[in-house]
Structure 1
Amino acid sequence: MRWFLALLATTSTVSAEALLYDPGKLALEQGVFCNVPTTGEIAAPGTAAGKIELFATIPDFQWQTNVVPAAPNVSFGIKTDAIDGTLYDDVILTLTHPPFIGSGVEEQAYVTDLGGVSTSLNAYTFDLPEERVPGEWVFRAVRGDEVLYEARFTVVPRSMAPEIAAACEGMPLS
């Protein structure tokens, strides 16, 4: 399992109810991409793996959708930019999801910063079979008592989004 945090072609659309935020404060993009190499990691004890991994650059979303196949090497998340360059520090980023197979983990969280002069990406990649659980997955960014954003994804069986799964697994569509 990998959480990603980074600072620095679409086939579907995101439904309006899948993404809640104040457009006067943040510009958000929600989507899916195939896993890319990371350049390091930082401790995140509130996550199942105890760490989040870092990107050298922010990857492009290959699909702007909130429907995610439960398949290896599929990554999904939210890009944020502060409208006026405000830095939102001490943000608690929480991901809730159906229970992981075996461990029962349903919630993961870490502290991060959003905004400033760089784009931020908060994303998740399916690395292990026990993580690939269908259902609603929700990213929520909270600073103090203010919800900065909430983004909903629907994780589906591989067969319900075969083009994304095949692209990320490196397999041809049948």
Structure 2
Amino acid sequence: MTSLRLITGFCLTLTAPAAWASAEYDASTLWLEQGVFCAVPIVDEMPAPGTAAGKIELFEGIPEFQWVTNEVPAVENISFGIKTEALDGRVYDNVILTLTHPEFRDSGINVQRYVTSLGGVGTSINAYSFDTLEEMEPGIWTFSATRDGELIYRASFRVVPPALSPEIAAACGGLPLS
């Protein structure tokens, strides 16, 4: 089942930003990092009617990015997303998180949205995990966070066939190395 995965947690992670595409955000007020990780266990879910699955799934904590990159292989059990932290501790409530992506094969869905909060005293993550073949569409996938019509951030990933990112694909169980 398609699922947007969201978690707000408390951890500080500082690593170098990914190189191929720059995210849009105000670096004086927000720390942002893009990355990829193998899927982690889900502990809960929340209704999100603007998503393909009608829900978002919650992690127990903030997963570590195993790869700080914007390139994602289209394989099952891979997750990718955006970590943010408000540098002044400000809470951004009523944030509209929009994920645009290539059209899904069966449903035709190419935009998903839900309401969330960012900021506060710790790191937040907005992530997507590939769970079904329909979702694994190569192309540009863009996360945008807006509040009251103002852009908080926009960051894109390039989803590629597994053969173009074999190390990540194999690490998450989607492609043998040999």
8 Å contact kept, 1:18–1:153: no
Partner residue of 1:166?
A: 170
The offset of 1:17, in angstroms, is 3.4
8 Å contact kept, 1:45–1:110: yes
Partner Cα distance (2:17, 2:120) in 1: 27
The offset of 1:170, in angstroms, is 6.4
The two structures have a TM-score, normalised by structure 1, of: 0.94
Amino acid at match of 1:160: L
Asked if 1:73 corresponds to 2:77, the answer is yes
Partner Cα distance (2:146, 2:17) in 1: 25
The offset of 1:24, in angstroms, is 1.1
Partner residue of 2:97?
A: 93
Asked if 1:41 corresponds to 2:45, the answer is yes
Matched residues, number: 171
Partner Cα distance (2:148, 2:19) in 1: 27
The offset of 1:18, in angstroms, is 3.3
The offset of 1:13, in angstroms, is 6.3
User: Which deviations, in whole Å up to 9, do the C-alpha atoms of 1:104-146 show, x marking residues without a partner?
Assistant: 1000000000000121100000000000000000000000121
Partner residue of 1:58?
A: 62
Amino acid at match of 2:159: V
8 Å contact kept, 1:93–1:142: yes
Partner Cα distance (2:159, 2:22) in 1: 13
User: Which deviations, in whole Å up to 9, do the C-alpha atoms of 1:30-49 show, x marking residues without a partner?
Assistant: 00000000100000000000
8 Å contact kept, 1:100–1:130: yes
Asked if 1:5 corresponds to 2:9, the answer is no
The offset of 1:78, in angstroms, is 0.2
8 Å contact kept, 1:2–1:49: yes
Unaligned runs of 5+ in 2: 10-15
Partner residue of 2:108?
A: 104
**Runs in 1 of length 4+ with deviation above 3 angstroms?**
none
Partner residue of 1:120?
A: 124
User: Which deviations, in whole Å up to 9, do the C-alpha atoms of 1:11-64 show, x marking residues without a partner?
Assistant: x96236331100111101100000000100000000000000001111000000
The two structures have a TM-score, normalised by structure 2, of: 0.92
Asked if 1:149 corresponds to 2:153, the answer is yes
